[in-house]
Amino acid sequence: MSTPPFLDIEGITVRFGGLTAVDNLSFQVQRGTIHALIGPNGAGKSTTFNCISRYYQPTMGCIRIEGEDVTHHVPTRMARLGVARTFQNLELFSELSVYENVMLGCHSHSAHTLGGLLRPPSGETRDLVDSLIERVGLTHDRHTRAIELDFGHQKLLELARALALKPRLLLLDEPAAGLRNSDIENLDQLLTELVQRDGITVLLVEHVMQLVMSISNRITVMSFGQKIAEGTPKEISEDPLVIEAYLGKGAAHV
């Protein structure tokens, strides 16, 4: 028997009133790869993420992680399965420091009780937090409140917090938005390292095509809730349908 894909999305549909945000979408993400989900604004990318992390319930279809049907799991159970995410519009504790935000990410897996949450962190946890802050390049802002960072650096902070969960699958919603070119190069390197060294599987929503094309193993393209193409970066960048629906228009070329 062949091993199942790490993530298997089979025919999911999401409706908001009369609007079909995701329309019978299927794709598979293989273990240890970077898989990008791209397409114009409103295509249904974030809604798909919200289904996988279980914030939204698809009206139809099935989501599996390593063959296990997770379509009805609660979000905390997904975290325990090793699924972590960042948000397009940030979900940080704005008044807390960089350090405290990442520390709270660690607590999601170590503390299942209030007592555990209130206990001072172990040296091991503090080291983990420091190393994650360093990996995303925020060491100098360790004590800065999240609200004082610019948008790009807040996104890096969210990435560090997601990594604190020690995820096996990382869902990143526009991690390069607001980043300067030098920061994008660092992100490119970090994501490659997360996959190659730490064995994490990444599903990436991103408009910065320079990043998508350089790091993705495979790309799924959505438009109006549907999958319109799938392939390698080379195949996608040459696909007339994709150029017409997205690359020729909305994609950010850096």
Interface ranges with Mg ion (CB under 5 A) = 45-46, 88
Least Å distance between CB 21 and ligand ADP? 3
Q: ∠ CA 190-199-68 to the nearest 5 degrees?
A: 125
Least Å distance between CB 42 and ligand ADP? 4
User: Are the C-beta atoms of 43 and 250 separated by less than 8 Å?
Assistant: no
Q: How many CB atoms lie within 10 A of CB 161?
A: 27
Least Å distance between CB 160 and Mg ion? 21
Least Å distance between CB 143 and ligand ADP? 33
* Sign of the dihedral through C-alpha 137, 159, 89, 7: positive
Binding partner of 86, given ligand ADP, Mg ion, none, CB within 5-8 angstroms per partner class: none
Query: What are the CA-CA distances from residue 137 to residues 33, 131, 144, 160 (Å)?
Result: 23, 10, 13, 10
Residues that bind ligand ADP (CB under 6 A): 16, 19, 21, 39, 41-47
C-beta of 122 vs 151, nearer to ligand ADP? 151
C-beta of 46 vs 101, nearer to Mg ion? 46
Least Å distance between CB 45 and ligand ADP? 3
Binding partner of 16, given ligand ADP, Mg ion, none, CB within 5-8 angstroms per partner class: ligand ADP
β 218-223/34-38 pair status = parallel
| Rama region for 155: left / alpha / beta (φ>0; ψ in -120 to 50; rest) | alpha
C-beta of 7 vs 21, nearer to ligand ADP? 21
Q: What's phi and psi for 81, nearest 5 deg?
A: -75, -5
C-beta of 55 vs 108, nearer to ligand ADP? 55
User: Are the C-beta atoms of 23 and 223 separated by less than 8 Å?
Assistant: no
C-beta of 133 vs 245, nearer to Mg ion? 245
Binding partner of 217, given Mg ion, ligand ADP, none, CB within 5-8 angstroms per partner class: none
Q: Using alpha carbons only, how large is the chain's radius of gyration in Å?
A: 18
Q: By three-state DSSP, how is residue 184 classified?
A: helix
Measured distance CA(230)–CA(214) in Å, rounded: 16
Measured distance CA(48)–CA(45) in Å, rounded: 5
Least Å distance between CB 220 and ligand ADP? 12
C-beta of 155 vs 168, nearer to ligand ADP? 155
Binding partner of 42, given Mg ion, ligand ADP, none, CB within 5-8 angstroms per partner class: ligand ADP
User: Are the C-beta atoms of 144 and 98 separated by less than 8 Å?
Assistant: yes
Least Å distance between CB 19 and ligand ADP? 6
Sole residue written with tokens 């990436």? 204
C-beta of 47 vs 86, nearer to ligand ADP? 47
